[in-house]
Amino acid sequence: MPAGAQWTWLEAFGRAEVDPQVVHGSNWQKAWRHVDSYLDEVLPQDCLETEVKDSDNFLDSRPEEIILRASGWGRLEQLRREKTGENPMCGGSMVFDNQSLGPDQQPWLTLLMEGYMPPREPSEAPGAFVVQSQWRKLLEQVIHDKRSDHWLSWFHLGLMYFNDGDVEGAKHAWRTSLERDANPWTYRNLAQLAKHEGKSPEAVNLYLKSSEMAPALLPLIIETCDVLIELGRADKSLEIIERLPSELRLNTRIQLLEACSVIKLGQLDRAESILNENFELVDNREGDEIMTDAWFELQARRIAEAKGTPIDDELRQRVRQERNPPKNLEQRNWPGI
């Protein structure tokens, strides 16, 4: 479909009553012609074409009542196009008004209308992300002109570069963000990048810096501990968890990560006290098998400890084949397999 093109059509849905002997017969030509003839009789093609032409009358008609507004991103894009003289993205029947704009759009609206990205304290969340190339150019310009040369602008610019596949550009932007002001959000992004590049020690160090700057930010703590366990630093994961306020320690995802950490550290009784018959992961996600994996690892280590033998992949595989987790810890799609 060419850029800027518009194709319109009308579809009709309903129950068809045709001869089953014909449509399920072996003669394909006869079958489809039989159905085609039926359709021409109950809903002629001319009627559909007329309806399509008549629909042009309301394609640009504003609705009489708006029952529910979507997010303000449509309005923001509409305003951007108006300011740059681009064609509108839709007709008048699609209403994107100022009432849909909210806090997520406000920094980008300021960038568009006033020519700068509003700064924030490093302790504040960076806000909603935008990666569209037109916004990248706007942000690059205000940074270059020293109107928004602060940590937040460089943080968002790094996301834009990374989205475009410019990893080196993202690194430079995020390192510049930290030069402008140390913040947990940029440390986290650089940590993820280091992890994907196989630079485990660097990833661990950056994640620790990030979590130290936001010690009570639950999503960051969960991600940090999860990565630390994966990268063989369960000791650091446990240190973070044990420093958490009591209300965060009660979070079941945190409790599960604590169990995973102490299993790696050989504290099996402590892990069993967490992964008992009353444990319930309240934010269980489809495809997430962390509870089941932790239980299998715990059983394998118990066997190895009892026999005085080292734990290995052969033992882990045998445990998976011979034992089934309790129902409250079972996350596999097909229990017992």
Kindly list the distances between the CA atom of residue 262 and the CA atoms of 51, 208, 242, 267, in Å, as whole numbers in the listed order.
68, 19, 12, 5
Predicted confidence band of residue 91 (pLDDT cuts 50, 70, 90): confident
DSSP-assigned letters across all residues of 263-280: HHTT-HHHHHHHSSTT--
Asked if the model's pLDDT at residue 7 lies above 90, the reply is no
Give the residue among 219, 216, 194 at the shortest CA–CA distance from 206: 194
User: What does the pLDDT read at residue 55?
Assistant: 80
For residue 90, what are the contacts with CB-CB under 8 A and spacing of at least 6? 96
Query: What's at 98, amino acid-wise?
Result: N
CB 107 within 8 A of CB 85: no
Query: What's at 57, amino acid-wise?
Result: N
Give the count of beta carbons closer than 10 Å to the beta carbon of residue 211.
25
Asked if the model's pLDDT at residue 334 lies above 80, the reply is no
d(CA 331, CA 328): 8
d(CA 19, CA 80): 56
Query: What's at 165, amino acid-wise?
Result: G
Predicted confidence band of residue 143 (pLDDT cuts 50, 70, 90): very high
Asked if the model's pLDDT at residue 108 lies above 60, the reply is yes
Give the residue among 294, 230, 232, 287 at the shortest CA–CA distance from 260: 294
Query: 12-54: per-residue pLDDT in tens?
Result: 899 989 999 999 999 999 999 999 999 999 999 899 888 888 8
Q: What percent of the chain has pLDDT over 70?
A: 99
User: What does the pLDDT read at residue 89?
Assistant: 85
Which tokens go with 139? 């942000």
Give the residue among 103, 108, 97, 154 at the shortest CA–CA distance from 130: 108
d(CA 337, CA 323): 10
Predicted confidence band of residue 225 (pLDDT cuts 50, 70, 90): very high
Mean pLDDT of 318-336: 84
Mean pLDDT of 114-143: 97
d(CA 92, CA 241): 53
Query: Could you write out the three-class secondary structure of 311-330?
Result: CCHHHHHHHHHHCCCCHHHC
Predicted confidence band of residue 337 (pLDDT cuts 50, 70, 90): very low
Does the domain at 126-181 match CATH 1.25.40? Answer given as: yes
Give the count of beta carbons closer than 10 Å to the beta carbon of residue 316.
18
Kindly list the distances between the CA atom of residue 200 and the CA atoms of 93, 186, 238, in Å, as whole numbers in the listed order.
52, 17, 18
User: What does the pLDDT read at residue 316?
Assistant: 96
User: What does the pLDDT read at residue 222?
Assistant: 97
For residue 327, the number of C-alpha atoms closer than 13 Å in the C-beta half-sphere is 0
Domain 183-272 sits in CATH at: 1.25.40.10
Query: 290-314: per-residue pLDDT in tens?
Result: 999 999 999 999 999 999 999 999 9
Query: 160-207: per-residue pLDDT in tens?
Result: 999 999 999 999 999 999 999 999 999 999 999 999 999 999 999 999
- 245 or 4, higher pLDDT: 245
Give the count of beta carbons closer than 10 Å to the beta carbon of residue 126.
19
Asked if the model's pLDDT at residue 219 lies above 70, the reply is yes
User: What does the pLDDT read at residue 188?
Assistant: 98
Query: 277-290: per-residue pLDDT in tens?
Result: 999 999 988 888 99
Predicted confidence band of residue 335 (pLDDT cuts 50, 70, 90): very low
Q: What percent of the chain has pLDDT over 90?
A: 82
Mean pLDDT of 137-161: 98
CB 239 within 8 A of CB 204: no
Q: How is the chain split among helix, strand and coil, in percent rounded to 5?
A: 60, 0, 40
User: Is 224 exposed, middle or buried, given 0-12, 13-18 or 19+ CB atoms closer than 10 A?
Assistant: buried
Q: Give start-end residues of each CATH 1.25.40.10 domain in the chain.
A: 183-272
Mean pLDDT of 263-286: 94
d(CA 270, CA 78): 56
- 56 or 318, higher pLDDT: 318
d(CA 160, CA 140): 10
- 54 or 123, higher pLDDT: 123
Taking the alpha carbons of 65, 68, 72, 73 in that order, is the dihedral positive or negative? negative
- 58 or 131, higher pLDDT: 131
Share the mean pLDDT of the chain. 94
Give the residue among 327, 332, 335, 336 at the shortest CA–CA distance from 277: 327
